[in-house]
Amino acid sequence: MGRMSNGVKCSLVAVGLLAVAAFAADNRKEFRYTVAPGASVTVTNESGPVEIKGSAGRQVVIIATTHSDKVEVDCDQNRNRIHATTHFLQRTDGPDSRVDYQVLVPSDASVTVRAPSGPITAEKMRGDLTLEGDAAQVDVHDVSNAHVHVRTISGPISLGNIANGHVEITSLNGDVRLDAVSGPRVSVNTVKGSIRYNGDFGEGGEYLLVNHSGNIDVTLPASASVDLSARSITGSVENDFPLQQKQHPAFAITQGRSFAGTSNSGASSVQLRSLSGKIRVKKR
């Protein structure tokens, strides 16, 4: 019994030491900068998440947590520009290369993030956002009056509650989901990724959703005011949203492959284009 107790003690000590070592490896650093209106913040993180949150006030707060001594974080301010970059001290990958960023910025700041593995999140912003990630999942919500540019290779992209946005999304195989996204110009391009739009398309914007072979699903309320056209060249289209047929559509309408029409005053132009995917438009 006594030996077992000693064994247990030894085990506990070993576990404790490992925990301390792990804790020591997790190095949290905080950087604070004061910026003027219209500041720009750039974060480049080869591995690990980047969270951007807009806030009141004029401070940029960058909290970076490294998980090994093989990487470090370089932050610097040059007038109204802030740069935060993960810097490799040794060649590494996997968990050792990961750095977690939490970044608080004035909501009017322009933010650029490059985080290949992500995920990348941005919320409560009014400044422009440029977000890039290879396989990174990208989530943007509660953004207004901003340009939102997102590019991924395979990472899924989700935008929610974007008002008066200039939105440009490009992905190869990432699925794209837009909920309550409206603005003067919204464009989505994917190859195999599916595109889902749920919302009313605002009042007077240009919307273009294009892919190669994924599905395009649009759900909109009866109150939506749209001038909508859909065409899948070799795929199919389905529509159960009431549209008034146009006298002069931009292309020849082919049953099952294309349709076009307007609802209400047709305030927003909505173009849905696929080469071989399925396009479905539904009434909410």
Partner 1 sequence: MNCAEFQEVLPDIIESGGNPEEEAHLKSCAVCSDLVQDLRYIADTAKLLLPMRDPSPRVWTGIRGALQREGLVRPLAGTVRFRPQAAAVLSQRRWVRGGSMLAVAALLLFAIGIIWLRNNSTRQPQPAVTARVPAAAPAAAADDDDAQMLNFVQHKSPALLATYRENLESVNAYIRDARRRIEQDPNDMGAHDHLIRAYDEKALLYEMAMARSGE
Q: Are 77 and 36 in contact (CB under 8 A)?
A: no
Q: Are 149 and 189 in contact (CB under 8 A)?
A: no
Angstrom CA distances, 123 to 33, 91, 136, stand at: 20, 33, 16
Number of residues that bind partner 1 (CB under 8 A): 35
Residue 147 CA to residue 113 CA, distance in Å, equals: 14
Query: CB under 8 Å to 79, separation ≥6 — which residues?
Result: none
Residue 233 beta carbon to partner 1: minimum distance, rounded to whole angstroms: 6
If binding is defined by CB under 8 A, does position 135 make contact with partner 1? yes
Instruction: Identify which of residues 25 and 191 has a Cβ nearer to partner 1 in the complex.
Output: 191
Instruction: Identify which of residues 77 and 271 has a Cβ nearer to partner 1 in the complex.
Output: 271
Asked if the bond preceding 119 is cis, omega within 30° of 0, the reply is: yes
What residues form DSSP beta bridges with 195?
A: 176, 216
Instruction: Identify which of residues 265 and 276 has a Cβ nearer to partner 1 in the complex.
Output: 276
Pick from 8, 15, 95, 251: which binds partner 1 (CB under 8 A)?
A: 251
Pick from 53, 70, 141, 147: which binds partner 1 (CB under 8 A)?
A: 147
Pick from 64, 127, 128, 272: which binds partner 1 (CB under 8 A)?
A: 128
Residue 145 CA to residue 152 CA, distance in Å, equals: 23
Which strands make up the sheet holding 59-66, listed edge to edge? 27-34, 59-66, 99-106, 50-55, 120-125, 138-144, 157-163, 176-181, 195-198, 216-220, 278-283, 236-239
Angstrom CA distances, 219 to 175, 178, 223, stand at: 16, 10, 12
Instruction: Identify which of residues 189 and 239 has a Cβ nearer to partner 1 in the complex.
Output: 189
Instruction: Identify which of residues 224 and 279 has a Cβ nearer to partner 1 in the complex.
Output: 279
If binding is defined by CB under 8 A, does position 173 make contact with partner 1? yes
Residue 188-217 contact track with partner 1, rule CB under 8 A, x = bound:
-x-xx-----------------x-xx----
Stretch that binds partner 1, among 48-56, 70-78, 145-153, 219-227 (CB under 8 A): 145-153
If binding is defined by CB under 8 A, does position 275 make contact with partner 1? yes
Instruction: Identify which of residues 6 and 251 has a Cβ nearer to partner 1 in the complex.
Output: 251
Maximum distance among all alpha carbons in the chain?
Answer: 92
Pick from 55, 80, 102, 112: which binds partner 1 (CB under 8 A)?
A: 112
Residue 70 beta carbon to partner 1: minimum distance, rounded to whole angstroms: 12
Residue 14 beta carbon to partner 1: minimum distance, rounded to whole angstroms: 31
If binding is defined by CB under 8 A, does position 67 make contact with partner 1? no
Q: Which residues are at the interface with partner 1 (CB under 8 A)?
A: 46, 88, 91, 93, 97, 112, 114, 116, 128, 130, 132, 134-135, 147, 149, 151, 153-154, 168, 170, 172-173, 189, 191-192, 210, 212-213, 231, 233-234, 251, 273, 275-276
